[in-house]
């Protein structure tokens, strides 16, 4: 079956620009997670959705980052006024809604801010 997909796979943008990263979760998964992985590091949690609502956004680094999941399926991570420090691989994962359920990861979007 189809896994988690993310688009685009690569995004190059200039400092100060706005970007949107898309995540299509596995059908039927109620939970959706965004993580960020900088070079040589483990993924870091950004935000978690249960259905349409953000259950925990404590990992968002500042108010330039925002994410939505309006219909409880596809999610978009939005970054305003991008900075070079935002360059990283942005990973999306989905799971059934219970604690400890396996999270299935997408291939990621590599964001480069020049």
Partner 1 sequence: AQSVTQPDIHITVSEGASLELRCNYSYGATPYLFWYVQSPGQGLQLLLKYFSGDTLVQGIKGFEAEFKRSQSSFNLRKPSVHWSDAAEYFCAVVGGAGNMLTFGGGTRLMVKP
Question: What are the residues binding partner 1 (CB under 8 A)?
Answer: 3-4, 31, 33, 35, 40-45, 48, 55-56, 59, 91, 93, 95, 97-103, 105-108
Query: Least distance to partner 1 from the beta carbon of 21, Å?
Result: 15
Q: Which residues pair with 30 in a beta bridge?
A: none
Q: Which is nearer to partner 1, 9 or 114 (CB)?
A: 9
The position carrying tokens 């291939």 is 107
Q: How far is the CB of 14 from partner 1 (least distance, A)?
A: 26
49 vs 86, beta carbon nearer partner 1: 49
Complex with partner 1: residue 4 or 113, whichever CB lies closer: 4
Beta bridge partners of 75: 23
CB of 111 to partner 1, least distance (A): 16
Where do we find the tokens 């020049």? Answer: 114
Tell me whether residue 16 or residue 97 sits nearer to partner 1 (CB atom).
97
Contacts of 83 (CB under 8 A, 6+ apart): 15, 64, 113
State how far the Cα of 37 lies from the Cα of 58, in Å rounded to an integer: 16
């Amino acid at each position: 079956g189809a896994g988690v997909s993310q688009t685009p796979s690569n995004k190059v943008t200039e400092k100060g620009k706005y970007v949107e990263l898309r995540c299509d979760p596995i059908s039927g998964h109620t939970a959706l997670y965004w993580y960020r992985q900088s070079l040589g590091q483990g993924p870091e949690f950004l935000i978690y959705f249960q259905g349409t609502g953000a259950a925990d956004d404590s990992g968002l680094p500042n108010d330039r980052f925002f994410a939505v999941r309006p219909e409880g399926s596809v999610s978009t991570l939005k970054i305003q006024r991008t900075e070079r420090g935002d360059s990283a691989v942005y990973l999306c994962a989905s799971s059934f809604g219970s604690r400890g359920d396996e999270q299935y990861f997408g291939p990621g979007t590599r964001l480069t801010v020049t």
